[in-house]
Every structure is written in C-alpha cells, then in structure tokens.
Structure 1
Amino acid sequence: MTKPAFETTVHGTPGPQGSKTVNAAGAMYESSAKVKPWREAVKSAALDTVAYDETWQPIRDAVRLEVVFTLPRPKHHFGTGRNAGFVKPSAPEYPTGKPDTDKLLRSTQDALKDAGVLLDDSVITDTVAAKRYVLTTADTLSHPGAIVRVWRLTQPKEPQP
C-alpha cells in the first residue's frame, strides 16, 4: 500500500462518543467523561502533525481511515503478590468489552475534522479499526492511545475557491 496522506500517534486514554444523557434541566451531555480529553488529544496530535506543512489543506476526497486503539488492561488481568505485573494466563487476549469500537471511531473522526485533517468525516468511505491492549501487537503502543492513518483513495483535487 502507498504511504498514508496523514499519520499520527495520539497519547491518552481513548474515549467513546455517542451516548448522550439528559440532566434534570434538559441539557444534553456526553455520558463518557473520557470523550472530551480524547478528542482534545486527537486534535492536538493532528495539529502538531500538520503544523509544519504550509501546504496542508483538509482532505476533501474519499479516504480510508485506519485506527489502532491501544487500551490499558484492567487491573484484574494482572496477578498479585510475586506475580504482580504479570498478565494472568486466563486474561483475554483482546479487549472485547466497552468501549465500543464504533464509538471510539466516532470521537476520533470528529476530532480529525476539528483539527482540519478532513474537510468532514463524511469523506471517510473505508474504515479499519482495531482495539488492542498495550504492547500486544506490532501496531500497539506502550501506553494508552492510538495510531491513526489516513489514505487518499483518489488523486487530490485542486481546492475550490
């Protein structure tokens, strides 16, 4: 595959976006307290990545988005006593519980739009997403976060006035 048009590493705990809660006054807010810090982390990493490219324009054509989310293992996955720090043999290999992959993608896509990487998240036509635990595969980080890659599916067009 060709080189991605955009690639960045985001540090922080991935936060899902999607579920809304209504308070007694009728105001809606995100039910996950992690979504705002995550969106800020993605936006900050994206802005840092494109900051030195004076010709960068938000991508307006079809793209493929790939995100590998690295999640922390729950404490109960680790042994105790002399086995503290070691993952139990009974611990699952993959994070099959919450947060949902689609909700993690939603917050990440919105942050990429806010950072000016994408003109709109509707330009994403192909998506590949994975949830992994820390240091379990080649594309996982040594701490919570994500690796984000965006490929253009067509040749870039000239910006419209």
Structure 2
Amino acid sequence: MTTEFRIYGDPKPEPRPRAYRRGERVGVYAGTSADGWREQIATAARPHVRRPITSPVGVTVEFFIGRPKSHLGTGRNADKLKPSAPMFPAGKGRDDLDNLAKPILDVLTNVGMWVDDGQVTDLVCRKRYTTGQPGALVTITEIHE
C-alpha cells in the first residue's frame, strides 16, 4: 500500500543539540527552530494514519524550497529568474538533506504512521527550488517480502 501527502510550509532541518555551561552546571538542549515545521508535518500526516505500519517501508521525500529574492529580477522582471540563479539549492550554507528528512521521519513515528522509523529501509530525498508553495511531498510505500 502507498500513502502520499503534501506538507505546506518552509522545510526546516533538525536543529543540532547545543551545550551550555552555567557555573558548575553543564547541560544540553535541543533547538526549537523546527517546532513549527514539525507541527505542519503532523497536521498533514494525521489524516493518512490508519494503523501503525509494522512491515518495512520505503519513503520518498521531495522538498520544495522557496527561492531567495536575489534569484529574481527587479522591476518589470521581478517574476523572472535571473540567468545566474542556481538550478538547485546546493552548496555551503544550504540545509543538509539528511537533516531535512529527520524531522519528517521522527514526526511520522510520533503520529503512529509506523512503529519505529528504524523500519525505513529505503529513503529517497530530493530538494528543489520552487516559485510556488514551499513544502514537501511525502510518499510512503509498505514493502512486503
């Protein structure tokens, strides 16, 4: 069985844990920058949860990243892509694809899509620029032996 749904919003990577020290106390805290994105994932996924999947699963995620304004022209060319604009959202300073996928897999576990994200045996991820609505398209396929 295959399930597909769209998540709307700006994809956010899983924040790295941060360490702190206050006097003698040392601790670690998780960033909250992806909390809104996590809620959007849960909202989009919940209607598609029937029962927790117990078999291995394949997941395909296509991320749609909004283009920066610097990629577009100005004035009457404001809706046209500059010839110098990169085709793909790649390079230093761009969100790592594996960090973008992590919140999706974690939230799908939390909403009961499957028992554990360790069941994911196939993971295909892509990130592309869009001039439309940013977000992600998620396809989940149960793998039967």
- Report if TM-score (shorter chain) is over 0.5: yes
Q: Quote the offset at 1:92 in angstroms.
A: 0.7
**2:101 counterpart (105, 118, 125):** 105
State whether structure 2 residue 74 is matched by structure 1 residue 87: no
Whether contact under 8 Å (1:16, 1:103) holds in the other structure is yes
Match of 2:89, as an amino acid? P
Letter in structure 2 aligned against 1:134: T
Q: Aligned partners of 2:63, 2:73: CA distance in 1, in Å?
A: 24
Superposition RMSD in Å: 1.7
Q: Which residue matches 2:14?
A: 17
1:46-85 to 2 correspondences below 5 Å: 46-50=45-49, 56-85=50-79
Q: Is there any run of 5+ residues in structure 2 with no aligned partner, and where?
A: none
How many percent identity over aligned positions? Answer: 37
Aligned partners of 1:78 and 1:86 also within 8 Å:
yes
Q: In the alignment, is the contact (CA less than 8 A) between 2:64 and 2:130 conserved in 1?
A: yes
How high is the TM-score relative to the length of structure 1?
Answer: 0.80
Q: Distance between the aligned counterparts of 1:146 and 1:72, measured in 2?
A: 11
AA at the equivalent of 2:66: P
Q: State TM-score, norm by structure 2.
A: 0.88
Equivalent positions of 1:36-47 (< 5 A) are 36-47=35-46
Name whichever structure is richer in strand by fraction.
Answer: 2
Q: Mark the runs of 5 or more structure 1 residues left unpaired by the alignment.
A: 51-55, 136-141, 156-161
Distance 1:91 1:7 in 2: 31
Give the superposition deviation at 1:148.
Answer: 0.4
Letter in 2 for 1:74: P
1:131 and 1:71 map into 2 onto residues whose CA distance is 7
SS of 2:30 mapped into structure 1: strand
Aligned residues: 139
